[in-house]
Amino acid sequence: MPENQHLIDHLITTGALHTTALIQAFKQCDRRLFVPDKLAEFAYADHALPIGEGQTISQPYTVAIMLELLQPQKGEHILDIGSGSGWTTALLATIVGKKGFVEGVERVPFLIDYSRQKLQKAHITNCSIELADDSSLGKPGCLYDRILVSASASKMPTELLSQLSHGGILVIPIENSIWRITKQEDGTIDTYELPGFAFVPLIEPSS
């Protein structure tokens, strides 16, 4: 059995992964493609791995939990903040399909080239990776169906709520919890907190 399938089976068994579309995305987007070559033997281990510049490719269990909370759908426009290795961008792009698009933004210049190369090798084309603006979080003035943040903020970044479409979902780590923020069709906000996680810190916009 391929080792990627072992990882997927583990994530299903632990209850982290259960949505059919997400399971299929994990099958198509082999984590090995996004791990540094020197760490290839650890690609299917269920823990974070260093990818350079003090950054990591997230633990598969955590990625599965966050994507299950996000519930991305076909055709959606998604913002992936702190796209890092490009693995979450690839998973999201696979789920939204050719009619959808994923915009990755990253503050670490080294990871821009790293993730673009990895996504090209994975033949993922319905996405982009850009250097994040130092003065803002996300892409002010744009609207997204889903927003995923893969680094831990010190507090709720309210500026992201204005970038979320009505009916949209934001999933973001704040300190040691994962939060799901849902903007209802009437503009009201619902929140859900899942504690007990650890992330690299979000690089906050410069003042």
For β-strands 127-131 and 101-106, DSSP reports them as parallel
Measured CA to CA in angstroms, residue 161 lies from 51, 71, 80, 207 at distances of 30, 17, 14, 19
Based on the residue annotation, tell me whether 85 is a catalytic residue of this protein.
no
User: 58, 115, 150, 152: which one is catalytic?
Assistant: 58
DSSP state of 160: G
CA atoms of 113 and 92, how far apart (whole Å): 19
CA atoms of 124 and 129, how far apart (whole Å): 12
CA atoms of 172 and 188, how far apart (whole Å): 18
Q: In which residue are the tokens 């990895």 written?
A: 118
- Positions annotated as catalytic residues are 58
